[in-house]
Structure 1
Amino acid sequence: MKKLIALALSTAPVAALAAPAAGAPSPWQLPIMLVAFFGIFWLMVWRPQSKRAKEHKNLISALSKGDEVLTSAGIAGKVTKVTDDYIQVEVAANTVLSFQKNAVTATLPKGTIKSI
Structure 2
Amino acid sequence: MFSTPAFADAAVAAQQPSIIESFLPLILIVVIFWFLVLRPQSKRMKEHREMVANVKRGDTVVTAGGLIGKVVRVKDDNELEVEISEGVKVRVVKSTLTEVRAKGEPAKTEE
What TM-score do you get using the length of structure 1 for normalisation? 0.73
Of the structure 1 ranges 17-26 and 39-48, higher mean CA displacement relative to structure 2 is found in 17-26
SS at match of 1:37: helix
Larger helix proportion of the pair = 1
| Residue of structure 2 in register with 1:6 after alignment | none
- Determine whether 1:105 maps to 2:107: no
Larger Cα Rg: Structure 1 or Structure 2?
Answer: 1
Distance between the aligned counterparts of 1:58 and 1:41, measured in 2?
25
Task: Give, as a single letter, the amino acid of the residue that structure 1 aligns with 2:69.
Answer: G
How large is the RMSD of aligned CA atoms in angstroms?
Answer: 2.4
Distance between the aligned counterparts of 2:87 and 2:22, measured in 1?
65
Distance between the aligned counterparts of 2:53 and 2:96, measured in 1?
13
- Determine whether 1:33 maps to 2:17: no
SS at match of 1:46: helix
Q: Residues 13 and 75 of structure 1: is their aligned pair in 2 closer, same or farther, counting only changes over 3 Å?
A: farther
Where does structure 2 lack aligned partners over 5 or more consecutive residues? Answer: none
Distance between the aligned counterparts of 1:93 and 1:34, measured in 2?
58
The partner residue of 2:73 within 72, 81, 93 is 81
Q: Show CA shifts across 1:22-48 (max 9, x none).
A: 643233212322321221121112111
Query: Alignment identity in percent?
Result: 34
Where does structure 1 lack aligned partners over 5 or more consecutive residues? Answer: 1-10
| Residue of structure 2 in register with 1:8 after alignment | none
Distance between the aligned counterparts of 1:43 and 1:97, measured in 2?
40
Task: Give, as a single letter, the amino acid of the residue that structure 1 aligns with 2:20.
Answer: W
SS at match of 2:19: coil
Task: Give, as a single letter, the amino acid of the residue that structure 2 aligns with 1:25.
Answer: P
Distance between the aligned counterparts of 1:31 and 1:12, measured in 2?
31
What TM-score do you get using the length of structure 2 for normalisation? 0.76
